[in-house]
Structure 1
Amino acid sequence: MTENLRESERVDVTVLVDNYIDLFVPPAMAGDHRPPFSPARSLLAEHGLSCLVTVFSGGREHRILMDAGLSPVCLFHNARNLNCDLGDVESVVLSHGHFDHTGGLCDLFRGGKKQIPLVLHPDAFLQRRMNNPAHGPVELPRLDAVALKKAGAAVKPRKDASTLAAGHLLVTGEIERKTGFEKGLPWAEAYIGDRWVADPINDDQGFVINVKGKGLVVISGCAHAGIINTVEFARKIAGVDTVHAIIGGFHLTGPSFEPVIQPTIDAMKEIGPAYVIPLHCTGWKAMHRFAGEMPGQFILNTVGTRYTF
Structure 2
Amino acid sequence: MPLTIKVLLENRRAAGVDKSLKAKAGLSLWIQDETDAVLFDTGPDGSFLHNATQMGVDLSRMTATVLSHGHYDHCGGVPWLPDNSRIICHPHIANERHSAVTFLGYTRKIKKLSLNIDYSRHHMEYSSEPLHISERFIWSGEISVTQPQAYGVLSGKTESVDYVIDEGVLIYKSDRGLVIITGCGHRGIVNIVRHCQKITGINQIHALIGGFHLRCASPHTIWQVRRFLKQQKPEKLMGCHCTGAWGRLWLPKVIAPATGETFVLE
TM-score (norm 1): 0.79
Partner SS state of residue 283, structure 1: helix
How far off is 1:142 after superposition? 3.5
**Given that residues 98 and 114 in structure 2 are in contact (C-alpha distance below 8 angstroms), is that contact kept between their aligned partners in structure 1?**
no
- Give 2:109's aligned amino acid: P
Aligned counterparts of 2:120 and 2:25: Cα–Cα separation in 1: 26
1:15 to 7, 28, 51: 7
Q: Which has the higher helix share?
A: 1
How far off is 1:185 after superposition? 4.2
Aligned counterparts of 1:155 and 1:232: Cα–Cα separation in 2: 27
Aligned counterparts of 2:153 and 2:90: Cα–Cα separation in 1: 17
Q: Which has the higher contact order (CA 8 A, sep 6+)?
A: 1
**Given that residues 91 and 126 in structure 2 are in contact (C-alpha distance below 8 angstroms), is that contact kept between their aligned partners in structure 1?**
yes
Structure 2 counterpart of 1:66: 40
Q: Quick check: 1:106 aligned with 2:79? A: yes
CA RMSD, aligned part only? 2.0
Aligned counterparts of 2:123 and 2:8: Cα–Cα separation in 1: 23
4+ runs of 1 displaced by more than 6 Å? none
5+ residue gaps, structure 2, are none
- Give 2:45's aligned amino acid: S
Partner SS state of residue 14, structure 1: strand
2:50 to 77, 82, 86: 77
Partner SS state of residue 118, structure 1: strand
1:219 to 177, 181, 204: 181
Q: 1:281-301 CA distances to partner (integer Å, 9 max, x unpaired)? A: 1111111222xxx13xx2121
5+ residue gaps, structure 1, are 1-8, 25-36
1:170 to 130, 135, 138: 138
How far off is 1:87 after superposition? 2.3
TM-score (norm 2): 0.91
1:148 to 103, 106, 119: 119
Aligned counterparts of 1:234 and 1:45: Cα–Cα separation in 2: 30
Which range moved further: 120-129 or 259-268?
Answer: 259-268
**Given that residues 90 and 116 in structure 1 are in contact (C-alpha distance below 8 angstroms), is that contact kept between their aligned partners in structure 2?**
no
Q: Quick check: 1:201 aligned with 2:164? A: yes
Q: 1:4-43 CA distances to partner (integer Å, 9 max, x unpaired)? A: xxxxx2321211111122315xxxxxxxxxxxx455xx32
Give the direction of change, closer, same or farther, for the CA distance of 1:79–1:185 in structure 2 (3 Å limit): farther
Give the direction of change, closer, same or farther, for the CA distance of 1:171–1:204 in structure 2 (3 Å limit): same
Aligned counterparts of 2:264 and 2:171: Cα–Cα separation in 1: 14
Partner SS state of residue 195, structure 1: coil
Aligned counterparts of 1:104 and 1:304: Cα–Cα separation in 2: 17
Q: Quick check: 1:136 aligned with 2:108? A: yes
- Count of residue pairs the alignment pairs up: 262
